[in-house]
Amino acid sequence: MIKKVLKKIIISLRLQQTAYFFFNLYAAISRFQTVSRDNILYHLDLKEAVDRAIFLMGWEPLTINWLHDNLNKGDIVIEVGANIGAHSLIISKIISPEGQLFCFEPTDYAYEKLNKNFNLNPHLKQNTRLIKSFVSDKERSKKSYKIRSSWIVNKTANLADTMDEDFYGEIINLDDFFIDLPKLNLIKIDVDGFDFKVLQGATEIIKLFKPIVFVELSELDLNRNQDSVIDILDLFSNIGYSGILENGEPIVSAEQLLITLKEVTHSNGIFTYDG
């Protein structure tokens, strides 16, 4: 509550640049911290954008609110692109103790931090499985360019080049990986343009369990894999799903969605079975 009030004051007085300067100074002095947020412990690097957001207000507050409003104890969730656990730990807490969470994160950097954050919360790790695999389609397609899981703030061009990783590990698809699930309530996907590939490899479990599918929509990132949000909408339409954006706006057509994404570059889509 105090942070929300402080944020409103900073915005109303137009002190954003001043606040940003002083926080950068604070981050330089106290870069690495272990903090508690909503009774969850995180080990954070305040030079990293995701970590910084967790420290201040939570990474993607709209998503956090949606998770609290739509998940229940005992749910089974698959998260593809868990990164350092900004949402994973929250999901695990909500669905505990009877639920189960499967987290996929292929990069060395993020997986190490994800595992460290869950080790700080052993009661949450009990119902969570961390899987260091790249999730793709049935052909296990993967482009040759690198995967990024680190987003350092105020980075130079040379530093940005060091933030990407080549991945040489296992490539799986969700349909083949999950052959004995008793149920599935949510699939959450945020993989910076590989999202359609993940969906292509998960159509059978989606048709079987009809879970909610929460997926990032970024035309620019998808295009790097020769995919489009049009492909995502067509896939969902063919299996009886419809969607809304995270802000509650209905997705009425691909044309409308493409216009929206030109303005905001990316958004999260929430797709549910209509039957």
What's the pLDDT at 47? 93
- Cα separation, 33 vs 117, in Å, equals 12
Of 8-17, 82-91, 190-199, the least confident: 8-17
What's the pLDDT at 27? 87
- Cα separation, 77 vs 129, in Å, equals 11
Residues 31-65 as b or e (16 or more Cβ within 10 Å = b):
eeeeeebeebbbbbbbbbebbbebbeebbbeebbe
pLDDT digits (tens, 9 = 90+) for 84-143: 999 999 999 999 999 999 999 999 999 999 999 999 999 999 999 999 999 999 887 776
Portion of the chain with pLDDT greater than 70, in percent: 89
- Cα separation, 170 vs 84, in Å, equals 19
Average pLDDT of the segment spanning 52-58: 93
Give residue for tokens 């969605």.
Answer: 257
Query: What pTM was estimated for this model as a whole?
Result: 0.92
pLDDT greater at residue 151 or residue 202: 202
What's the pLDDT at 155? 66
| Domain definitions of the chain by residue range | 59-273
- Cα separation, 195 vs 228, in Å, equals 10
CA-to-CA dists, residue 53 to 86, 87, 145, angstroms: 9, 12, 27
Q: Read off the pLDDT band of 238 (50, 70, 90).
A: very high
- Cα separation, 258 vs 38, in Å, equals 36
CATH number of 59-273: 3.40.50.150
Decide: helix, strand or coil at residue 183: coil
Instruction: Say if CB 264 and CB 258 are below 8 A apart.
Output: no
Amino acid identity at 217: L
What's the pLDDT at 18? 77
Instruction: Say if CB 93 and CB 124 are below 8 A apart.
Output: yes
Average pLDDT of the segment spanning 26-32: 92
- Cα separation, 178 vs 68, in Å, equals 25
- Cα separation, 136 vs 178, in Å, equals 14
Whether 161 shows a pLDDT value over 70: the answer reads no
Q: CB-based contacts of 172: which residues, under 8 Å, 6+ apart? A: 133, 134, 135, 136, 140, 201
